[in-house]
Amino acid sequence: MVYNLLTEKWIPIIRLDGRWERVGICTALREAGRIRQIAASNPMDRVALLRFLLAVLYWCRGNPPGQEEKERVAGDGQFPAEWFDKLEERRECFNLLGEGKRFYQNEAYKQKEPQHTVNYLIHEVPSGTNKWHFRHTMDRVDGLCPACCAMGLIRLPVFATSGGRGMSSSTGKSFGINAKPPLYVVPVGKSLAATLRLSWRTTGLELGTPEWEAPGNKLPQKGEVPLLTGLTWLPRSVWLGDPEEPESVCASCGRKEQLIRRCVFDGKGTSKAEGRLWRDPHVVYGTTSDGKSMSLQTGDALGRTDAAANHWAKTMAGIVKGQGSGVERPIWVVGFSTVQNDKYLEATEWLVSGSGSPQQDQDCAAKLERWQKEGATLARQICPKEKSSSRETPLELRSAVDAIRPEVEARVFAATGDLLAGNDRVWERAASEYRPMMGTIATSLSPGFTTRALQRRNQIADSVPNMTARPEAKPRKPKAKKGGDQ
């Protein structure tokens, strides 16, 4: 069976007129101006497919053309069809199945018996002895259709996590090139072509060779990683088994087809190197306290009771500071986190409207950082005055604040676009979102009708984030030395 990704209908898309369908790589790129967006239900698939199509665009056309041609392409809304003639010339690179070269698969494993479940390719499909919640799958009984197998392979460069030893005793499983999956920040246009153009920028990096052209690519130990090598490097060695009869329901998408149930799935050993430099085009980088560069990453929602509430402001502050030139257009943020060897998985996405000038972004970054600090000290603010000097916040106060913060922060986050472009009044309105819930907490923590109980309730109800500018502290006068002038 031959399954070529150039023409097989496996990429889900929504066209500008609202029609949903599946298309191949050639159609997705040649008709990108008439496609609104990739329409996979999981944001991990959408961002992985977008980065893959961007890599194909670089491979076929190189760096963006000159300004005149660039304006013509933007005006037409379409990429010229002849840009992608290289796809037909190298058609064999995109065969998912068959006897020869296979897409994103290691031919060295061709003769090895596929002993592992193919469900390893899709994070949210449980395998082995993993606990089931809403459903479960049985290894070697349930499987994936060819389209979902292709999707799982394309996820590997973007979302692969480390798991220690490999599936064989001779190899270990390494992280993807970005180590722990970072937050991916993608500028968004009004069509797939516009979105690709926003990420398709002239780069000083060598383009290099993508994984589909040279399977088994190795990362350089020193120096800069070529762009296409970094975008497509696979931290796993895979060889898919053949589809099996009869037709069954795919464990991922639910379509009824001949399914692939087994594969070779192995690690590649460690990929760590001190002298290697990789700057991902969709990752925001910051600097640690010791001067090292690090990527912005999603938080562990299981690590703290209020982690989910605090995460959005921390993330947006990092994005605003990392963008440098200002968030000028809608940005799409996709994150993926896993805890305790995949016992907990979370894929999240945000779409945030642009704010405007770089100066606004600098001011907004300071506001976001202040919002984090105010939220973190909210439980301490409602401590009784006589206990305010104590470092320990009573457990019942912390629990009460943690119970309301996710709900309130979700409402504030929904207005992120206004906050990025707004002034102090917008932030004050955001702080006022806390008042109804703090009033409820006040009634719960201080019942009764005594003067002291009423004062306590008022203190709690008035404890909201303070986003108004505080006056600068006056410098203290130096103390006079004892003994007078000497």
Classify residue 87 by burial, with Cβ atoms within 10 Å: 0-12, 13-18, 19+.
buried
Residue 341 tokens read as 């060897």
Looking at the DSSP bridge assignments, the partners of residue 263 are 116, 240
Strands (E) in 143-284, as ranges, are: 164-165, 172-173, 184-187, 222-224, 236-240, 244-249, 256-259, 262-267, 275-277
Between CA 20 and CA 40 the distance in angstroms is: 10
Q: What is the pLDDT of residues 278-308, one digit of tens each?
A: 999 999 887 777 777 788 887 766 666 666 6
pLDDT score of 168: 59
Angle between helices 192-199 and 67-76 (to 10 degrees): 160
- How far is CA 127 from each of CA 119, 124, 130, 345, 408, rounded to the nearest angstrom? 6, 9, 6, 14, 37
The domain limits of the chain are 11-285, 298-461
Mean pLDDT by 10 residues, the chain (486 residues): 93 96 96 95 95 97 84 80 94 93 91 87 78 70 94 93 60 80 92 93 89 88 92 93 92 93 85 81 83 77 67 84 65 82 74 65 81 88 69 79 88 84 84 92 88 90 82 58 53
Cβ count within 10 A of residue 73: 18
Looking at the DSSP bridge assignments, the partners of residue 331 are 187, 352
Residue position matching structure tokens 């991902």: 280
**CB within 8 Å of 232: residues ≥ 6 apart:** 52, 55, 157, 210, 211, 212, 217
Residue 15 tokens read as 């066209």
Residue 39 tokens read as 């329409």
pLDDT score of 402: 87
Residue 406 tokens read as 């996710």
Between CA 238 and CA 261 the distance in angstroms is: 13
pLDDT score of 51: 97
The helix/strand/coil state of 194 is helix
Residue position matching structure tokens 């945000």: 350
Beta carbons of 427 and 371 less than 8 angstroms apart: yes
**CB within 8 Å of 195: residues ≥ 6 apart:** 37, 50, 186, 187, 188, 189
pTM score, whole prediction: 0.87
The helix/strand/coil state of 24 is coil
Beta carbons of 378 and 313 less than 8 angstroms apart: no
Closest CA to 162 of 106, 219, 236: 236
Between CA 317 and CA 19 the distance in angstroms is: 37
Residue 483 has what DSSP assignment? T
